[in-house]
Amino acid sequence: KKLGIALVGLGYYSSGQLAPALQKTNNCYLAGIVTGTPAKAVDWAKKYNIPEKNIYNYQNFDEIAKNPDIDIVYVVLPVFMHKEYTIRAAKAGKHVICEKPMALNARDCEEIIAACKKANRLLSIGYRLHFEPHTVELMRLGQKQVFGKVTSIDTGNGFTYNGDPNAWRLKKAMAGGGGLMDMGIYSIQGSRYTLGQEPIAVKATQEKTRPDFFKEVDETVYWELKFPGGQKVNGKSSYNHDWGYLKVQAEKGSFQLEPAYGYGGIDGLVNGKPMNYPQIVQQAAQMDDFATCVTRNVQSRVPGEEGLKDMRVVDAIYRSLDSGKWETIG
Ligand code: NAD
């Protein structure tokens, strides 16, 4: 049986990526939607053949508990709403995928994980790259030390934000932060999955060229991570630069991804030679995998703990920006 997924929040990512990807999945399908905009409900119902009884709004959302068509709730809302809706979904008896960044801070991530555990529901974070072939190969090269120990990593992710100045992404209370929360989370993940280790400390600096636009949130952030193995790891994030690379130097070779983090195609080089893996619909692979996890009742390879580990690093980066010093992660 294909499992039913309900998307909560029908913005840019749901409409542009997740709903189309759900037309290509084998183990799950788009069964329901949760939206505060009645006009969207009408459009989506028609476009994706969603029955009236599987359409919810933010007021009657908890009634989803009684709906056997919905197995998985996918939270695709602004960051400040992730915690509330992930916990409500788990309490309604649904397994949950929550988008990145998992929550406003690590403490909220811990609350989410505890609530899902208590409800005995599986939780996964929307880390689609763990299902992407070039990325999976990079993880193998780094973690299995195929070219010896990794000695340094240089990674950056960002885009030039010129969107709506009133958008939730620019409000600290709604987004938790700026380029670091939205884009930097990938550079942090990238460093962690290259090494298969957890960083222990971080030192960060920032730069603002458009302070009037980025009034409440960070624009460009640079950081250095300290790992137990002593590797030199530099990362950066931005709402003002188009970055998207992950470069790794090991004792006996080098490998890199560029673009490293998007969903418009990933490319990689190993010792200067192209990787040549197929381009896939990352979100379809990600959701199919979670549906299989639910059917088999096993943890996803990207459980809530992955989101929590990244948020611990993010929290420490913000502490370091305030203190100007190295900050311990955890
Ligand atoms: P968006 O602003 O386009 O969509 C957010 C949706 O939430 C909108 O439909 C909006 O109407 C709805 N919403 C409900 N209550 C709201 C409120 N009180 N304030 C504002 N909006 C409210 O954002 P998006 O780009 O679709 O991002 C949604 C989530 O998906 C974010 O967590 C983002 O980080 C994540 N995302 C992930 C990826 C990825 O590659 N994994 C890509 C893009 C976005």
Q: Spell out the domain ranges in the chain.
A: 3-128+284-303, 129-280+310-328
Structure confidence at residue 315 (pLDDT): 98
Decide: residue 1, CB within 10 A, 0-12 exposed, 13-18 middle, 19+ buried: exposed
Structure confidence at residue 330 (pLDDT): 87
How distant, in Å, are the alpha carbons of 108, 306, 311, 313 from that of 330? 14, 13, 9, 8
ipTM value greater than 0.95: yes
Q: Tokens at residue 167, please?
A: 């958008």
How distant, in Å, are the alpha carbons of 7, 63, 81, 99 from that of 44? 11, 20, 22, 20
CA–CA separation, 182 and 177 (whole Å): 8
Q: Which atom of ligand 1 is nearest to the CA of 127?
A: 41
Q: Tokens at residue 86, please?
A: 């992930």
Decide whether any atom of ligand 1 lies within 6 Å of the 9 Cβ.
Answer: yes
Q: Tokens at residue 11, please?
A: 């913005």
How distant, in Å, are the alpha carbons of 117, 130, 166, 287 from that of 189? 23, 10, 28, 19
Residue 301: CB atoms within 10 A of its CB come to 15
Nearest CA residue ID for atom 41, ligand 1: 126
Q: Tokens at residue 174, please?
A: 């709604």
Task: For ligand 1, pick from 8, 33, 76 the residue to mutate: most ligand atoms within 8 Å of CB.
Answer: 76
| Best CATH choice for the domain 129-280+310-328 from the list 3.30.360.10, 3.40.50.300, 3.40.50.720, 3.40.190.10 | 3.30.360.10
Per-residue pLDDT of the chain (330 residues; tens, 9 = 90+): 999 999 999 999 999 999 999 999 999 999 999 999 999 999 999 999 999 999 999 999 999 999 999 999 999 999 999 999 999 999 999 999 999 999 999 999 999 999 999 999 999 999 999 999 999 999 999 999 999 999 999 999 999 999 999 999 999 999 999 999 999 999 999 999 999 999 999 999 999 999 999 999 999 999 999 999 999 999 999 999 999 999 999 999 999 999 999 999 999 999 999 999 999 999 999 999 999 999 999 999 999 999 999 999 999 999 999 999 999 998
Where are the strands (E) in 58-200, listed by range? 72-75, 95-98, 123-125, 150-158
Structure confidence at residue 92 (pLDDT): 98
Closest Cα partner for 131 from 287, 6, 4?
287
Structure confidence at residue 44 (pLDDT): 98
Task: For ligand 1, pick from 99, 263, 311 the residue to mutate: most ligand atoms within 8 Å of CB.
Answer: 99
What topology does CATH give the domain 3-128+284-303? Rossmann fold (3.40.50)
How distant, in Å, are the alpha carbons of 44, 86, 109, 278, 316 from that of 328? 46, 28, 18, 39, 7
Measured in Å, residue 125 CA sits from the centre of ligand 1 at: 14
